[in-house]
Amino acid sequence: MSEVTARTRSVPYTSAPLSLDESARMAREIAAPGAARFGQGESAQFYLLTMALEALSQIAEWTPEYIHRQLRAWTEELVARAEPWGFTAPGRSQRAGYMVGLSSERGLRPDLARAFAERGVYVGIRGSCIRVAPHLHSPLDAMDRFIEALQTLAV
């Protein structure tokens, strides 16, 4: 048995949550010489654990049901507000609630994503669709800015 295997197996299993310090200590113990092959070319970034815990706490506070309901309402509003400008989206049953692809029979100009970004509006272009994914942390005026940019740039 190699030293790495022996040291890895010597770390006690516990089902109790570990503190950040305890997690870091255990990682140092496990990362014995020769264990770099488990690192995938990266170093551990334990500060990300704190951010992940905060994100999970926020999700628990909002609840996945609320998040889905709110994002679906926003994507439906985006579809309704884009229709007068000649943009369509798949039917409601064909869409995910958290993003929508808007397409136009006229097509899209090649520099559209960059032009949106210059206005502080960030979208993805996927083939002939403008991919819009609202976020709960987006400013309240983000949808208005998107529609204004759509009216100006994409028609």
Residue pair 100/89 in contact (Cβ under 8 Å)? The answer is yes
At residue 22, what is the residue type?
Answer: E
121 neighbors 77 (Cβ within 8 angstroms) = no
State how far the alpha carbon of 85 is from the alpha carbons of 18, 52, 109, in Å.
Answer: 54, 40, 15
pTM, full prediction: 0.67
- Quick check: helix, strand or coil at residue 47? helix
Contact 126, 151 (CB under 8 A): no
Q: Are residues 85 and 151 in contact, defined by beta-carbon separation less than 8 angstroms?
A: yes
CATH 3.90.1150.10 range(s) for the chain read 64-153
pLDDT band at 22 (very low <50, low <70, confident <90, very high): confident
- Segment 85-107, tens digit of pLDDT: 999 999 999 998 999 999 998 88
Identify the architecture of domain 64-153 in CATH: Alpha-Beta Complex (3.90)
Q: Residue 42 CB: number of other CB atoms within 10 A?
A: 6
* Average pLDDT taken over every residue of the chain: 82
pLDDT digits (tens, 9 = 90+) for 32-62: 666 665 666 666 788 888 999 999 999 999 9
8 A C-beta contact, residue 135 and residue 153:
no
